[in-house]
Amino acid sequence: MGLAPLMGLSAERLAELATMVELERVKRGTDVLAERAAERRSLFLISGEMLFAFAKGGTLVVVGGSEEARAAINRRTPAVARSRAITDVDVIAIDDEVLDILATWDELAAVSAVGETGPEPGSPGTDWRLLSGMFSISSLRSGVFAQLPAAHIDTLLKRFERIPVRRGEVVIREGGDGDYYYVIESGRFRVERVVGGVTMELAELKSGDAFGEEALVSEAKRNATVIARGDAQLLRLAKSDFNELLREPLMRRLAWDEACARVAAGAVWLDVRYPSEYQYDKLPGAINVPLAEVRNTFASMDRSREYIVYCQSGRRSAAACFLYAQRAFHVSMLDGGLWAAAGRR
């Protein structure tokens, strides 16, 4: 017996989802739905028997494993007024947001895999649903694609290019021009930079991580070199497609007056300039996270807070804003930076 919302999911997707499902034993006589009315989770009856009394009259007995149990018991039509476990029952709860994300991405990914009129001759297409890193549930909930408008998904998938990378291959080089945005499907990469004539390793990137966005957003040269530690697979998006489908949807720009109003309501100024600049003319209450350090703060920043990012011109803050936004932080940027706010501070 398959659950209705999960029937179209791949075995890999179901295995991933299984780690997020809660299984609960409910005692006989319990009104299962009344205790969970406010939850944003879909409940499914796995075993046992339940009685449902409908708001407009009538009752129904549902047995776990039956055809009637394929649908969520708390999403029934007509509306259920009350329920009762006739026997001890087992139910599983699945977060509604997870179900919606999976349904949206998997349906559109399936279409992109074959195209609107079937696969092109000699090309079976890429079934994005099978790519675990970029499209894992955790990535879709809190990664770069978490806030992407659904209308852009199909186009985005069609424009990504999948490329193999060999061990030791340099994907981007410090000082080069920004041309592509990358997401790691499989493998690991090291990030290094030359400091004082010495090459220093800054970070290691793994499956699901993205890189290359800073130069694209800030219209600057590459500030680091990225090298494959072993054979790997990358997903690559051209600069023009990145700007159209990812950068602009994720960027929230605020004028000075609106930004100040947000801060007055509890948001925090985030200054991404060098410490020497920050000390000279920081905004009241601002905290300093230089652009080069942004990636190191993802684990320590308070995700419940709203942040307004600024720099001098808006260039560095645009890059920082995108980096935080693609990790699902509640962040906006001061449009035009402090230069645009000159005379109004």
pLDDT band at 165 (very low <50, low <70, confident <90, very high): very high
Q: For 152-166, 167-181, 187-201, 307-321, which range has the lowest pLDDT when averaged over its residues?
A: 152-166
4-97 and 251-340 share one fold: no
What is 251-340's CATH number?
Answer: 3.40.250.10
The CATH number of 131-246, from 2.60.120.10, 3.10.290.10, 2.102.10.10, 2.40.50.100, is 2.60.120.10
Predicted confidence (pLDDT) per residue in 132-156, tens digit: 555 667 666 666 666 666 666 767 7
> What is the pTM (predicted TM-score) of this model?
0.61
Q: For residue 280, which phi and psi values (nearest 5 degrees)?
A: -75, -45
Mean pLDDT along residues 67-75: 85
By C-alpha distance, which of 148, 322, 163, 128 is closest to 236? 163
183 class by beta-carbon count within 10 Å (0-12 exposed, 13-18 middle, 19+ buried):
buried
- 129 has pLDDT over 70: no
What is 4-97's CATH number?
Answer: 2.60.120.10
